[in-house]
Amino acid sequence: MTNLIYFGSPAFSAKILESILNLKCDVVAVVTTPDKSLGRKQVLTPSPVSQLASKHNLPVFKPERLDDTNLTHLKLLKPNIFLVVSYGKIIPKSWLTTPTIGTFNLHFSLLPKYRGALCVSEPIKNQDRQTGVTLMAMDEGMDTGPIISQEKVSIDINDNCETLTNKLTQAGIKLLAAQLPQITTSYHKLPIFPQNNTLASYTPTTKTRNRQSAFIPWSEIKKALDGKGGSATHALIRSLNPDPGAWTKIPVGAHHDAPSTEIEIKIIKTSLKRHPGLDIELVQLPGKTPISWQQFHSRANLS
């Protein structure tokens, strides 16, 4: 048997872990990020990967630091493979070189394009028609290791980060089902390809993806509604949804001598039915349920 230790944290990573367990791989432990306080009540909550691992009675490690002390515990499990799928921490060299076969990473882009954490949102924002998943052997660089295999995924004109992540997750499951058995039995015989660093591109850090950066001026959206830059604005909105969520402030209520006020509104769904003009389909006022743009428009006097 090959002892595999899985590194991951978010929900899509949990889906991939579940697919690996269904392959009857010998997953001997899971490494994930520490529990986080979530929701209005700030309830301390394990990561989705941690929750799944607990259901399968797998040992779960949640180290604050990837130091030698924590590595010692993993070494007791005699790991042959570390598999990393959106873990959330930089893994030091001493950890990467621990498994007897190697440390591998499933990355959600066609490397060397879109190295870094925002590899799902950036191709949407840039209006790419295609992306994919890459299985690579990890080294100390950021997504710079040699490529084992890739699977291409098309980007639909209405895909947002959630729908594209679902597509990439399924592609990743398919790729690992084909490649993991070969890695466990004959990795050193597999053809691997170094990345061409001259073709590399890097995504911004996750710190840039927040509510403030998700604000789009109404003037920009209004131009898109009028047919100027509709495709780019549609792509930007999709790249910000569903989280943190694209939003704007709309001037409303202006009539006669009365000044307008601004209403904050979240833009949930747009389309390009009047290409190249933008169509707003679904919006949400703070603390309210989503409504159609027509419903909102009929209730507000837009400036």
Look up the pTM and report it: 0.93
DSSP H/E element including 224: helix 218-225
CA distance to 13, 269, 271, 302, per residue, from 260 (Å)? 46, 25, 28, 9
Query: pLDDT of 2-34, one tens digit each?
Result: 899 999 999 999 999 999 998 878 999 999 999
Low-confidence stretches of the chain (pLDDT < 50) are none
* Helices and strands (DSSP H and E) totals, the chain: 9, 13
Instruction: Write the CATH number of the domain with boundaries 3-206.
Output: 3.40.50.170
Residues 240-255 pLDDT 10s: 999 999 999 998 765 5
Query: 211 to each of 106, 110, 243, 266, how far by Cα in Å?
Result: 28, 28, 9, 11
Q: Which fold has domain 218-299?
A: Methionyl-tRNA Fmet Formyltransferase; Chain A, domain 2 (3.10.25)
Query: CA nearest 96: which of 84, 110, 88?
Result: 84
Q: Considering only CA atoms, which of 59, 152, 66 is closest in space to residue 108?
A: 152
Provide the residue ranges of all domains of the chain, joining segments of one domain with +.
Answer: 3-206, 218-299
C-beta separation of 104 from 183 below 8 A: yes
- Quick check: do 3-206 and 218-299 share a fold? no
